[in-house]
Amino acid sequence: MSETAIVTRAIERRFGDNVAVAGVDLTVHEGEMYGFLGPNGAGKSTLTRLLCTLLAPTGGTATVAGHDVVHEPTAVRLRIGVALQEAALDDKQTGVEMLRLQGRFYGLTARETTRRVAELRELIDIGDALDDRVGTYSGGMKRRLDLALALIHNPRILFLDEPTTGLDPISRATVWAEVRRLNRELGVTVFLTTQYLEEADALADRVGIINRGELVAEGTPGELKRSIGTDVLVVEVGDQVENARTTLRTLDAGTGIGGVETDGTSLMVSVDDGARAVSPVALALDRAGITVQQLALRHPTLDDVFFRVTGHRIQDDEGEAP
């Protein structure tokens, strides 16, 4: 289990002057579920395409399943399963036809393919729909077939690029359950990209946060959130936000206050012990003549981590988070 599934060293990809992936060092262990979290355009898909041998890096190296992605692409392709953004299917074929065709491209015999189709029917909850043309499928079913196609040849490493983008909450939960089962029961290494914090939080053993092509933070979801503090105190103060920030920065360290950050008209205060910090914070603001409009105590999220390292929210430009 300690073997490495994916190793990149200073991997870089430029498109002209635009640097999509700017020197990322990444290590994913065998059997691990690694979540790559970042907003749209952060470089997630480009990195996935580099690792899946669809793109060549313009700098650095990458090894997937022990093989170099540039020099041994076929060896890499034999060992990985890939489901890219937008379920890439053929509406004119049935699910079974697509699966059997995919099996042929991976050199499986007819008997092996039959066996795999039967296994995947069990594993991926898709049922009788497999015999219908793909054009009749719902979005959720397409994603599940997409997943089944990526698994036809029993890959050791599975790449999922935004596997649940555009899915309704129920379909999303089904896909999560299936990905988790693949990882836990079959030991498949999973590299998934997502712009959903909940997804990274719920699925990933380890999360890498990418922003503008750079890996800006990495760790287990727990570690990352603890780096913010045990709790977050969100104080809504309207237009007095700068004033309030200065006030809180001067507070005694004994109150357990960590970082204070501005987020619009709110302050995000990282604290060790939320319950103990509420009174000193409220009191200090009151003494400074600042009206507190709202005060909430919550646990840190991966979005807070993202905000800490980048200065903006992941979900700024996103409308369909669950």
Give the residue with the Cβ less far from another protein, 157 or 217.
157
Angstrom CA distances, 16 to 32, 53, 59, stand at 34, 20, 13
- Least distance in Å: CB of 283 to another protein? 57
Instruction: Report, in Å, the least distance between residue 39 CB and another protein.
Output: 21
Using the minimum distance from each CB to another protein, give the nearer residue, 88 or 283: 88
Residue (102 or 171) nearer to another protein, CB: 102
The neighbouring-strand residues paired with 18 are: 15
Least distance to another protein, CB of residue 54, Å: 6
Nearest approach in angstroms of CB 170 to another protein is 24
Q: By the criterion CB under 8 A, which residues form the site for another protein?
A: 52-56, 74, 77-80, 82, 84-90, 92-93, 97, 101-102, 104-108, 111-112, 115-116, 133, 149, 153-155
Edge-to-edge order in the sheet of strand 231-236: 257-263, 266-271, 231-236, 294-298
The whole-angstrom separation of Cα 84 and Cα 52 is 10
Give the whole-angstrom CA distance, residue 232 versus residue 102. 49
Identify the DSSP state of 313: -
Smallest separation (angstroms) from another protein to the CB of 256: 50
Token readout for 49 is 């395409």
* Backbone dihedral angles phi then psi of residue 125, each to the nearest 5 degrees: -75, 85
CB 77, min distance to another protein, A:
4
What is the C-alpha separation between 48 and 29, in angstroms, rounded? Answer: 16
In the complex with another protein, the residue whose CB is nearer, 65 or 251, is 65
Residue-wise DSSP of 131-172: GSBGGG--HHHHHHHHHHHHHTT--SEEEEESTTTT--HHHH
Looking at the Cβ atoms of 102 and 270, the one nearer to another protein is 102
SS3 call for 5: strand
Residue with Cβ nearer another protein (82 or 305): 82
